[in-house]
Structure 1
Amino acid sequence: MHWINWVVVVVYLVVVVGDSLRRTRGTKNLEGFFLAGRRLPWWAVGLSVMATQLSAITLIGTTGQGSISGLRFVQFYFGLPVAMVLLGVTLVPFLHGAKVYTAYEYLERRFDAKTRSLTSLLFLLSRGMSAGTIIAAPSVVLSAVFGWDLVYCVLLMGIPTVLYTAIGGVEAVAWADVKQMAVVLGSLVAIIVLLAIKLPVPLDEAFRIAGSTGRMRVFDFSFSLTETYTFWSGIIGGTFLMLSYFGTDQSQVQRYLAARTVEEARTSLLMSAYWKIPLQAMILIIGVLVFLFFTFNRAPMLYNPRHDAALREKAPAQYAELESRYTVALSAREQAAREAARVKGAGPLAAFAEQNARVDSVRTEALAAVTTVTGENSRDVNFIVPRLVLEHLPLGFAGLFLAAVIGAAMSAIAAELNSLATASTVDFYRRWYKPEGTDAEYLKAGRAATVLWGVFACGVAVKAATLGSLIEVVNRFGSFFYGSILGVFLLAMIKRSNALGAFVGLIAGMSAVAAVSFGAPQVSFLWHNVIGAVVVLAVGLALSFVGGGSGSRA
């Protein structure tokens, strides 16, 4: 990479990290370190919430997903506005008014200590794995750029982020998020403009061509438990997922607990309700534009350079045969695309779709060959956008994009690690080991927990990078736990529910999700959230009514 790009990366990171640490105050006490003294303004909280979601996974995984499958992924977020409104009138005032450090601390007041501890433990497992996936995203970029081993790239991202998080606390993380949002949005707009300029056909014609492959299709109203991205899985399963993520996941709850008032906490969440779907649609549009760019320009047969080199070296005859067919298919597809742009009608579009299917068929064979040769998952969706940025965009822009990816990852990872440290310290260390400790002792424990979870996340990152689309991976990890955790919080708002019902219901919910995940893997992960929540509610309420009386201690 050109030295100018490196200058952009270094300057950007120094400004963001330096200014965020400069703003840090009050980190010598527990509330200052974990909740920024509960004094963050609503707009900073709102941008921080959005920045935590708009991580490197979004820049890499979601754009790659858009290039492969188009706009239908946006249906995943259809439940978000519904979830935000419901949370604004339910869990937000409950938790903010309770003046707790973690969401699970409230569950002990409502039920008992074992329910709190089990729920917090499930959060730690799910968020620890998700943090690893977030580290994997920029590591994939660095691996593709420099040909470094993935493990070294993971450590390069993980070590400085752990140190930054341990020093700065949640306030430094939040202000880094604010600046990060501005840079990421600027980068996304610039990519759209550059890709539109580089296309040899008008934008409306280009989107018409992409539409012939189904990439411009947003809505799928079919009802299927095995299909992930449909209107119904998004509006039902997505609502349950978003309710659990924003309402019970400490990485998000910790944001609005740091807001000054309940009203400001509500307003910060509504920012996501208003802007997340348009923003996600814009990111997917970039993916479609990337597909169109590679339609009119030479597209790699394998986007992962390491896999390309491995197949070329270990199976040269097979590689040469695939490359030959791929070159012919690419040429035919480009000609069909230009004809479809020149001649209106269904015929040229159908011809393009046919040629595109031939290109995809050869790529599928190549990816299968890579799996055979390397023994690794061959899906290279996470390398599509990095290859575009590093090989086809103007000088300096690659540095800006890489800075945005690294900065977004560090910001999101910092948020994850800070929330993991908070739950570990407050729900376990302070609750069970040292209830009468000093703030200095708790801060020391929090920083140690940050380091330990950082090590865990780095281990997960090495595996997560080989599991396919990172945006799917992180949501699969979360969906295994989220629905059951949400069910416990829903029980907490029902007066007749008691501690026995909550604890046994949580175990039953996790057991049901595990049975579906491993026994019926064809059921889409979005429905795991619904299954977990419904089972927890059903079992919890049944036991509560059989036991008689309310278990409320709030």
Structure 2
Amino acid sequence: MSSIDWIVLFSTLVGIVAYGVWKTRGAKTMDSYLRGGDDNKWWAIGLSIMATQASAITFLSTPGQAYTDGMRFIQFYFGLPVAMIIISVFFLPIYYKLKVYTAYEYLESRFDVKTRMLAAFIFLIQRGLAAGITIYAPSIILSSLLGLRLFETNIIIGVLVIIYTVSGGTNAVTQTQKQQMAVMMGGMIVAGVLVVLSLPEGVGISEALHIAGKMDKLNVVNFEFDLSDRYNFWSGMTGAVFLFLSYFGTDQSQVQRYLSGKSLSESRLGLMMNGLLKVPMQFIILIIGVMVFVYYQFNQPPVFFNETVMENVEQTEYAEVIETVESYYTEVFEEKRTAVGDLVHALQGNDEKNIALAQKKLNNLNERSKAVSDEVKYIVKAALPDSEANDKDYIFMHFVMNTLPIGIVGLLFAVIFSAAMSSTSSELNALGSTTTIDFYKRKIKPEASDKHYLNSSKLFTLGWGVLAIIFASYLSLFENLIQAVNLIGSLFYPIILGIFIVAFFFPFVKSNAVFLAALLGQAVVIYVHYLNTIDAAGVLTMGYLWYNAFGCVLVVLLGFVIQGIGQRRRTD
């Protein structure tokens, strides 16, 4: 990057941290530290909720997801407005009535302390893992692109977040997330405009969308029911709804955002703002990825987007093989570029016959191009067994670094760092709060002063931050970063949601029954995932989004069965 880009990047990050520390320097009590003073407006709550979910993975992975798989990922968010309505109607009033610091306090009043601590413990496990991933995911890519060591990038992100999160607590997270959202969305909109402007003369947004459509990248809705399909309308309206109910309704990193509202109405409006704006936001990010795909139909992309790994492969005995494959890849691309030109010409002339011919030829060439890319991935893995052979998450930033003008590159890197900081700060804030309220105050030191708990919260937040940095330094990549986060959530969230659904709607089920149901349900969900990973034939395959509905319903049913058995034994 140029010196101007570095100045843009670091001035943006330092400015956000300094603002967060200065704006929230008055947090003197545990209440103001954990709940932010209960004075946030609905729009601040909405922005904070969106920023918490919009991690760096969103901006790194989602455009790459669209580049390789089209728009169908948007279906994951179709159920979000439904989940926001359910939470606003059923979850929020209970939290406000009890004036809880964490969502899990309610479970003790409904069940008992062991159920509360089980739910809190499951949260700490999955959110602790996620905190490491939200640091690691951008770090491994940014370290490669910026020429830094992975540990150095982890430290930069982790330390910046720890400074203002430990200093100001919930209010610091909310205040900084307003600036971070402005940087994130402003940067992505600028990138989207520049992608379109980078297309060849005579190819505008209309032609680009037609090209994308003919190459099956505008596959927004799929009504085919398929349990093995991760992203279709039905998984978005069932499995994803359960995931969103768990995440926004029972995950402390989100609950803490809207419990800082001035009133129940303000919190509800903040949730509904998220439900209405999140889908368009994801749509914009996916469209940018599709436009990057169209750009690379006219400009030759690398056969493998992680250039650092490719440079290392070229130093091995596979160098000649790679050179031969890249030569063939160039030949295919030149044919494809000609076919794209023919398609554009046919589209502009509204020539249906030639449109169909150009589309068929172009898609055949695209399949050949993908086959070459897949072959390169096998070569990369053979040459460097410890390297990551999946390059999806490098696609967008490769375009940024090699195409966009000076200054904008630094802004887009600031987007990625800001997103990493916004989601990580919420996670650390929630981890520190849950550890303090649900474990330390409840079991270890129940009679200490308010100042003691305030300092304890800061120390626990700092400790989780350090653990997240350490964990991030020992992670390895999943198939795709955004899928990694959703998978971890889908393994643990349904159990917590099942406990809360029983608590809200099924008074017949008591504490021991739901506790055993949760333990059994968690074991079954993990076992089903294990079966999916070893079932090569696909007979037992279940897309991980379906775990959310499956696990939640399982906990409820097991709770009923166990409670019924217990009742029968007592009557006998």
Q: Deviation at 1:532? A: 0.9
**Structure 2 gaps, min length 5:** 348-354, 534-540
Q: Percent identity?
A: 39
CA contact (8 A) 1:424 1:449 kept: yes
Q: Which of 503, 507, 510 lines up with 1:495 in the alignment?
A: 507
CA contact (8 A) 1:45 1:256 kept: yes
Please say which of residues 150-159 and 309-318 is displaced more in the overlay.
Answer: 150-159
Superposition map of 1:51-130 within 5 A: 51-130=51-130
Aligned residue in 2 for 1:175: 175
Please say which of residues 78-87 and 160-169 is displaced more in the overlay.
Answer: 160-169
Does residue 425 of the first structure (1) align with residue 436 of the second (2)? Answer: yes
Look up the SS of the partner of 1:81 in the other structure. helix
Q: Deviation at 1:144? A: 2.5
| Alpha-carbon distance between aligned partners in 1 of 2:337 and 2:415, rounded to the nearest angstrom | 32
**Structure 1 gaps, min length 5:** 550-554
Please say which of residues 216-225 and 70-79 is displaced more in the overlay.
Answer: 216-225
| Alpha-carbon distance between aligned partners in 2 of 1:519 and 1:327, rounded to the nearest angstrom | 41
| Alpha-carbon distance between aligned partners in 2 of 1:90 and 1:324, rounded to the nearest angstrom | 60
Look up the SS of the partner of 1:130 in the other structure. helix
CA contact (8 A) 2:173 2:426 kept: yes
Q: Deviation at 1:307? A: 1.2
Structure 2 CA distance for partners of 1:212 and 1:464, relative to 1, 3 Å? farther
Does residue 373 of the first structure (1) align with residue 383 of the second (2)? Answer: yes
Superposition map of 1:123-522 within 5 A: 123-200=123-200, 201-314=203-316, 315-344=318-347, 345-375=355-385, 376-462=387-473, 464=475, 466-493=477-504, 494-521=506-533, 522=541
CA contact (8 A) 2:17 2:163 kept: no
Q: CA deviation digits over 1:7-38, x for unaligned, max 9?
A: 11122123222222222154221111111022
Kindly provide the amino acid, as one letter, of the partner of residue 477 in structure 1.
I
CA contact (8 A) 1:96 1:257 kept: yes
Q: Deviation at 1:137? A: 3.2
Q: Deviation at 1:456? A: 2.8
| Alpha-carbon distance between aligned partners in 2 of 1:13 and 1:476, rounded to the nearest angstrom | 30
| Alpha-carbon distance between aligned partners in 2 of 1:313 and 1:466, rounded to the nearest angstrom | 23
What's the RMSD between the two structures over aligned residues?
Answer: 1.5
Look up the SS of the partner of 1:395 in the other structure. coil
Look up the SS of the partner of 1:379 in the other structure. coil
Look up the SS of the partner of 1:38 in the other structure. coil
CA contact (8 A) 2:183 2:418 kept: no
Q: How many residues are paired up?
A: 549
Q: CA deviation digits over 1:283-328, x for unaligned, max 9?
A: 1000001111111112111111221112111121111111111111
Q: Which of 550, 556, 560 lines up with 1:541 in the alignment?
A: 560
Structure 2 CA distance for partners of 1:234 and 1:462, relative to 1, 3 Å? farther
Q: TM-score, normalised by structure 1?
A: 0.96
Structure 2 CA distance for partners of 1:543 and 1:258, relative to 1, 3 Å? same
| Alpha-carbon distance between aligned partners in 2 of 1:393 and 1:320, rounded to the nearest angstrom | 28
Q: Deviation at 1:212? A: 2.4
Q: Deviation at 1:460? A: 3.7
Q: CA deviation digits over 1:352-379, x for unaligned, max 9?
A: 1111111111111111111222223311
Kindly provide the amino acid, as one letter, of the partner of residue 442 in structure 2.
R
Aligned residue in 2 for 1:552: none
